[in-house]
Structure 1
Amino acid sequence: MEGTSEILEQAIEQLAKLPGTGRKSARRIALFLLKQNDESVIKLAEALISLKKSITRCSTCGVISDGDPCSICQNTKRQTGQICVVEESQDVFLIEKTNEFRGRYHVLGGVISPLDNIGPDDVRIKQLMQRINEDDEQIDEVILALNPDSEGEATSYYINKLLKPFDDVEVTRIAYGIPMGTELEFIDEATLGRAFASRNTF
């Protein structure tokens, strides 16, 4: 379009690739950055470059980390007998905010999805089994904390099946149900049904 900046349009095009960001939002962000002083924009650029170049994944649990092993795997106060299996690193961050789990994690880096040609070998299930088989790390419980969708269910079922021969390993899953503060009339049938199926004693 005549009269616009090609450099600005290139920035908008790249920003629009961010999740949840359309062209309008990308344009607003680009124009906002133009109004900022050089130091602020340079700090942002350096942070993004550092994010890409310096961030690594823990070779033990697979979580995004500044170092290898990550701070959770290095923490001697964590319970070594519990492993919580999650899909992505962001799930670890969310669970950590609750302060309810003091064990260790295993990030699969995805879930089994035949429609997307993602099989068991494409996610970190083999590494999970290796951890359970290690003599120096006795695992008593594997907690499946995957999303309650078809892919998450299929992955949970597959892992549970692999763990059946391990008599000393208890396989559990996080409870799914009704969110706090929500009225029953606003709950969909699938969620309500799962809440009944996952009910506990009072």
Structure 2
Amino acid sequence: MKHPPLVESLIEAFTCLPGVGPRSAQRMTYALLERGREQGRELAGALQAAMDGVSHCERCRNYAERTNAEQNLCAICQDPRRDPSLICIVSSPANVLAVEQSGEFRGHYFVLMGELSPLDGVGPRELGLDVLEQRLRDGEIRELILATGTTVEGEATAHYILDLAREAGVSVTRIAQGVPMGGDLEFVDGATLAQALRARRPFAD
């Protein structure tokens, strides 16, 4: 049986989400059409608003709402109580939330939105490392805390950033105890992350 074109189009749209295959997308579509028309309209509105209104912070690359201000900055970069000379390097906005939940860190972030992966076409520029390099040269940053993953890609990314920091004469540390090898910060509890931040150590080859 073929779906009407509008139904087929909605099913295909849901499959763009990670972990959602055709069957899951079909169940979501049926649920909205059968019992959730109002929720579906709310979902459509929220999606439209987010797609139009969310961009990236000009300083840290985290998500930020577009404004008419001269600079488009996230809430953390705008917070005068945070220390802009202390930068935690993370791979994704989800990692920012994980570190924030630890309650241990009061600096700023730099969000890579991925990790180095030449085979997938992800190089330094795609991660904004040219922006980070310029910020290191500007002299405002005194310490980088590396909180990238412990995968092969995460390690390659960490070493690339280490080289940038050394050239700029900036201290580099790395979160240590409590973060398992091959683990992702998104799934580490706040207490473990707090301990890891307190026990960070110099990062070297």
In structure 1, the partner of 2:175 is 174
Query: Alpha-carbon deviations, 1:4-59, whole Å to 9, x = none?
Result: 43332222122122111122211111111113454322111010011111101110
1:142 to 137, 141, 144: 144
- What are the ranges of 5 or more consecutive residues in structure 2 without an aligned counterpart? 67-71, 181-198
Cα distance, 1:121 vs structure 2: 2.8
Cα distance, 1:64 vs structure 2: 0.8
TM-score, length-scaled by structure 2? 0.77
| Cα 1:7–1:176 shift into 2, 3 Å | farther
TM-score, length-scaled by structure 1? 0.78
Query: Alpha-carbon deviations, 1:139-186, whole Å to 9, x = none?
Result: 22100111111111011111111211344x22011126566xxxxxxx
Question: After superposition, where does 1:189-200 map in structure 2 within 5 Å?
Answer: none
Matched-pair contact (CA < 8 Å) for 2:173–2:200: no
Q: Aligned partners of 1:120 and 1:199: how far apart in 2?
A: 25
Cα distance, 1:75 vs structure 2: 0.1
**Secondary structure of the residue that 1:81 maps to in structure 2?**
strand
Range that drifts further, 15-24 or 111-120: 111-120
The answer to whether 1:106 aligns with 2:110 is: yes
**Secondary structure of the residue that 2:84 maps to in structure 1?**
coil
In structure 2, the partner of 1:126 is 130
**Secondary structure of the residue that 1:143 maps to in structure 2?**
strand
Alignment size in residue pairs: 178
Q: Aligned partners of 1:173 and 1:71: how far apart in 2?
A: 24
Q: Aligned partners of 2:65 and 2:99: how far apart in 1?
A: 19
Q: Aligned partners of 2:152 and 2:106: how far apart in 1?
A: 28
**Higher radius of gyration, 1 or 2:** 1
Question: After superposition, where does 1:16-165 map in structure 2 within 5 Å?
Answer: 16-36=15-35, 38-67=37-66, 68-135=72-139, 137=140, 139-165=141-167
- What are the ranges of 5 or more consecutive residues in structure 1 without an aligned counterpart? 180-197
Matched-pair contact (CA < 8 Å) for 2:174–2:200: no
Cα distance, 1:199 vs structure 2: 10
